[in-house]
Chains A and B, each alone.
Chain A
């Protein structure tokens, strides 16, 4: 899938750290049932890196991703994205930061069923009271084109296949030109052909546009083709492998 140049980011990892996490601790449950899911995570991701976060079920991957995405708050530690401390702000201010800095792709597409593909893509702009201008709509259409859905702007989610829905979700995550794209098993719910298409899309975003990406995955293929693989076990980072360029 060839993607046109848009100038989101320059390709290749740089020296600038997009994400810095220090001493992240997260406990889930309360009282005697409380357990420490993350036990002091230190992490740094540079601009333009394509990072795979792997680990067995229950190792804390998704919990870590939600903390890094500002959807959850750590019990201790801090998360800085593009120089903004997500742990210092709460509620609506945090929602604004999330909107501006982070694109999120979930295992399920989580599209809003009453809205067309284009409207779903523009939704993060709507959250800021924007998304009606011609240029912004054109940007949404361009993103849909990039993910291979040109001409499907008016389709409702139920009129799209699972792979197409997930690609709309990717376009939505990119509409605010985020500093960091986080994905939680984005192909976990897709067949192999659609999973490959979504993978190619991520790869192209990274290689063609220098998009910084952190993907939680169980898929060994994703890990093998990433620049860097972080291994999580029992709430700790137990491996950090860098590969030159990935595959």
Chain B
């Protein structure tokens, strides 16, 4: 084995510039891959953390499970069938949760539910002076909401609890406030779909970092939203729940559905479009950066193929001197793995250095109008698995490249080469 290692080392050392280039290729691929994964995961963590802070973990929706089942059953009935219905299959034409107070009381007794609040999302137009903006008025019980989300902590100017003191108060999304030109203390007018209008006082400006909230939402007292929508005092568009365990939402969802009879969504389902977008961006990025790694692997295959072509005569001599095919295969695989390992180590070290640098001196961005997420800082996730998995992948690609290249080396027939060389 020592001889195999020595032969491999001498081959590499004899072409040190080529060897370093191959190592640099792998190192670059590994570093770019680790950094990209760290950045993509960082973005996802950044988004998820912000989302979980200001969104309910579970949302009880107006749709009733029995109605969903009835709809599904109707869909399966043949077109020419005659049905006798004892009551309308879709009895509820108003998309609200009824009997919200009783539901809340029941839900607060469900194990695993840490907090519950009713919300009424109502479309409206908010105007200040001559400027009018379409908004979603989110009617909440400010105190109950504080037990479900961290919205109060996201208020950047003014105070969340002022909503409790001031029935006609409003906490306006920071981007929306910017477009309207309002500040804390200003008075705005909200007009609901039915034409009802209410004058509201801005008591807070909220910046959640999530575009959907900061751009178009204004939080008001539940009764105000219900009034503008023409709903009763026991109606809401959803019931928002806080769970004690973020990682065990499926079981809790089933229990809540059993208690309420309504369909329940987890925060991942509510944000499925954004999460899917992240997944797609992630997959695309991983494919592109993975491609860099494969190209680096091809670089190693190319380097080894060059050595093998160049060394065909020496390989024939080694065979004629009694070296086995396995030993020669070992010589070149050791070279491939050595190049891959050196590249992986250097790449991991470089990535760790860059990640440490940007963590110490983060890049900051100006918030962008209309962005899904106010991503104001390059957030890099750190996980040793990035290095292990990507380093191992680089090593595997290098070994594979060596295996591909080495096939030629072990096929060398000494007599053909030596006869040609003589």
Q: Would B317 and A112 count as touching, CB distance under 8 A?
A: yes
Q: Would B314 and A98 count as touching, CB distance under 8 A?
A: no
In the bound assembly, the distance between CA atoms of A184 and B421 in angstroms comes to 13
Q: Would B326 and A131 count as touching, CB distance under 8 A?
A: no
Interface residues of B in 29-67 (CB under 8 A from A): none
In the bound assembly, the distance between CA atoms of A129 and B4 in angstroms comes to 9
**Binary flags per residue of B1-16, CB closer than 8 Å to A gives 1, else 0:** 1110011001101100
Contact of B189 with A by CB under 8 A? no
- Number of A-B residue pairs with CB-CB distance less than 8 Å in the complex they form: 69
Contact of A127 with B by CB under 8 A? yes
Contact of B157 with A by CB under 8 A? no
**Binary flags per residue of B303-341, CB closer than 8 Å to A gives 1, else 0:** 000000000011001111111111100000000000000
Q: Would A184 and B422 count as touching, CB distance under 8 A?
A: yes
Residues of A within 8 A of B321 (CB): 98-99, 123-124, 127, 172
Q: Which of B2, B6, B7, B415 contacts A72 (CB 8 A)?
A: B415
**Binary flags per residue of B398-422, CB closer than 8 Å to A gives 1, else 0:** 0000000000000000110011011
Size of interface on A: residues with Cβ below 8 Å to B: 31
Question: Min CB distance, A225 to chain B, in Å?
Answer: 23
In the bound assembly, the distance between CA atoms of A184 and B418 in angstroms comes to 11
Contact of A71 with B by CB under 8 A? yes
Chain B residue with Cβ nearest A127:
B322
Segment at the B interface, from A5-13, A100-108, A143-151: A100-108
Q: Which of B320, B326, B327, B419 contacts A104 (CB 8 A)?
A: B320
Residues of A within 8 A of B11 (CB): 114
Q: Would B10 and A71 count as touching, CB distance under 8 A?
A: no
Q: Would A110 and B323 count as touching, CB distance under 8 A?
A: no
Residues of B within 8 A of A123 (CB): 318, 321
In the bound assembly, the distance between CA atoms of A66 and B422 in angstroms comes to 12
Question: Min CB distance, A229 to chain B, in Å?
Answer: 22
Q: Which of B14, B318, B320 contacts A114 (CB 8 A)?
A: B14
Chain B residue with Cβ nearest A99:
B322
Q: Would A62 and B322 count as touching, CB distance under 8 A?
A: no
Known: A110-B418, A113-B14. A92 touches B320 (CB 8 A): no
Q: Would B422 and A62 count as touching, CB distance under 8 A?
A: yes
Known: A108-B421, A112-B314, A112-B317. A66 touches B323 (CB 8 A): no
Question: Min CB distance, B332 to chain A, in Å?
Answer: 14
Q: Would B320 and A71 count as touching, CB distance under 8 A?
A: yes
Residues of A within 8 A of B7 (CB): 126
Interface residues of A in 106-139 (CB under 8 A from B): 106-108, 110, 112-115, 123-124, 126-129, 131-132
8 closest A-B pairs by beta carbon, nearest first, are A99-B322, A127-B322, A126-B3, A114-B10, A92-B324, A72-B415, A71-B415, A127-B323
- 21 A-B pairs within 8 Å (CB atoms) are namely A62-B422, A69-B320, A71-B418, A92-B324, A92-B325, A98-B321, A100-B322, A110-B418, A110-B421, A112-B317, A112-B318, A113-B314, A114-B11, A114-B13, A124-B321, A126-B3, A126-B6, A127-B321, A127-B322, A129-B1, A131-B3
**Could you tell me which B residues sit within 8 Å of A by CB distance?**
1-3, 6-7, 10-11, 13-14, 313-314, 317-327, 414-415, 418-419, 421-422
**Could you tell me which A residues sit within 8 Å of B by CB distance?**
62, 66, 69, 71-72, 91-92, 95-96, 98-100, 104, 106-108, 110, 112-115, 123-124, 126-129, 131-132, 172, 184
User: Beyond A95-B322, A112-B317: 14 further Cβ-contacts under 8 Å?
Assistant: A66-B418, A69-B320, A92-B325, A95-B323, A95-B324, A96-B322, A96-B324, A108-B422, A110-B418, A114-B10, A115-B10, A126-B323, A127-B318, A128-B322
